Every structure is written in C-alpha cells, then in structure tokens.
C-alpha cells in the first residue's frame, strides 16, 4: 500500500502540469493545421483557375478565389490605413481591459487586506494598460478613427 501513496505523490503533480501543456500544444497545433488547410484550399483554387484559363475560359466568368476566413487580414495587406486602424483598435481594447483588470485587482486587494499595501499589486497591470492606451494614441491614424 505504501507504493500506491508514492505513486500518487509522483503522478499527481505530473497530471496537474500536463493539462495546461496539452492545451497549449493542442491550440498551437490546431492553429498550424488550420493555416495549412486554408493555404491549401487557396492554392488548389489558383491551380484550377490557371488550368481553366489555359483551356481558354474567360477569366471574368470564373468564380473568385475563395478567401477562406482570412477575412480582414488580406485587407490589411492591401490597405495600410486599415492595418493602422486595426492595430490602434487592438491596442485600445487591450489597454482598456488591462487597465481595468489592474484597477479591479487593486480594489480587491484593498478590501481583502485593508491593513497592508497589497493593493499595489493591481498597479502593475493598470500601468501596462495605461501604456497600451498611450501607444494606441501614438499609432492611431492621423485622420482620426
């Protein structure tokens, strides 16, 4: 029976850490497979289009090449202003979320332990959020958003 207790002490920490590792590796693998699949769909559509053009079909009568969920990322490549606006919006959203997370942490620790200065822990994410908002202000398109 002592062996089972030792086994629990050895296996349990490994199991606890394996869950996030598997989740992270799975997420990264899923992203890679998705990107490769989308690229393959576009590549096959381009090959079909070239073959149709070589066979003498009018290119204007062919269906457009599928965009396969790349969506706005292709617009960013084509239009730098769109890319700049998206970057600014992303920085603003991240900044607001991080700023208010820091403020929330500071208030939480202030009420939980009123006698100490542990509330200052919330200032770290709050200042990061403020920095993101400042960078969003600096990289915004000059014509406005």
| Strands in the chain per DSSP E | none
How many other β-carbons are positioned within 10 Å of the β-carbon of residue 99? Answer: 19
pLDDT at 74: 53
61 and 90 assigned to the same domain? no
Contact 52, 62 (CB under 8 A): yes
Q: For residues 113 and 122, is the Cβ–Cβ distance under 8 A? A: no
Residue 27 half-sphere exposure, CB side, CA atoms within 13 Å?
5
Statement to judge: residues 79 and 113 lie in one domain = yes
Report the number of distinct structural domains present in the chain. Answer: 2
Determine contact, residues 38/69, Cβ cutoff 8 Å.
yes
pLDDT at 22: 82
In whole angstroms, how large is the CA radius of gyration of the chain?
Answer: 26
pTM confidence score: 0.47
pLDDT tens across the length of the chain (145 residues): 455 556 667 776 777 777 788 888 888 999 899 889 888 988 888 898 899 889 998 878 888 777 655 555 555 455 677 778 888 888 899 899 999 999 988 888 888 876 788 888 888 889 999 998 998 888 887 764 4
Cβ proximity of 85 and 145 under 8 Å: yes
Closest among 15, 44, 35, 145 to 90, alpha carbons compared? 145
Cα(142)–Cα(137) distance, rounded to whole angstroms?
10
Name the residue range of residue 124's domain.
Answer: 75-140
Q: For position 110, what pLDDT does the model report?
A: 84
Query: 83 and 21 in one domain?
Result: no
pLDDT at 8: 67
Same domain, 62 and 121: no
Of 35, 55, 70, the position where a domain reaches its end is 70
């Amino acid at each position: 029976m002592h062996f089972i207790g030792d086994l629990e002490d050895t296996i349990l920490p490994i199991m606890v850490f394996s869950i996030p590792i598997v989740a992270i590796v799975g997420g990264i693998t899923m992203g890679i497979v998705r990107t490769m699949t989308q690229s393959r769909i576009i590549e096959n559509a381009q090959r079909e289009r070239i073959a149709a053009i070589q066979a003498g079909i009018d290119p204007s009568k062919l269906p457009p090449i599928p965009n396969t969920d790349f969506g706005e990322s292709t617009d960013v490549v084509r239009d730098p202003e769109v890319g700049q606006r998206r970057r600014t919006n992303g920085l603003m959203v991240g900044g607001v979320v991080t700023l208010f997370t820091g403020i929330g942490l500071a208030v939480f620790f202030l009420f939980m332990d009123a006698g100490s200065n542990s509330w200052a822990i919330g200032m770290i994410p709050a200042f990061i959020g403020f920095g993101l908002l400042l960078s969003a202000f600096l990289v915004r398109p000059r014509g406005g958003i």
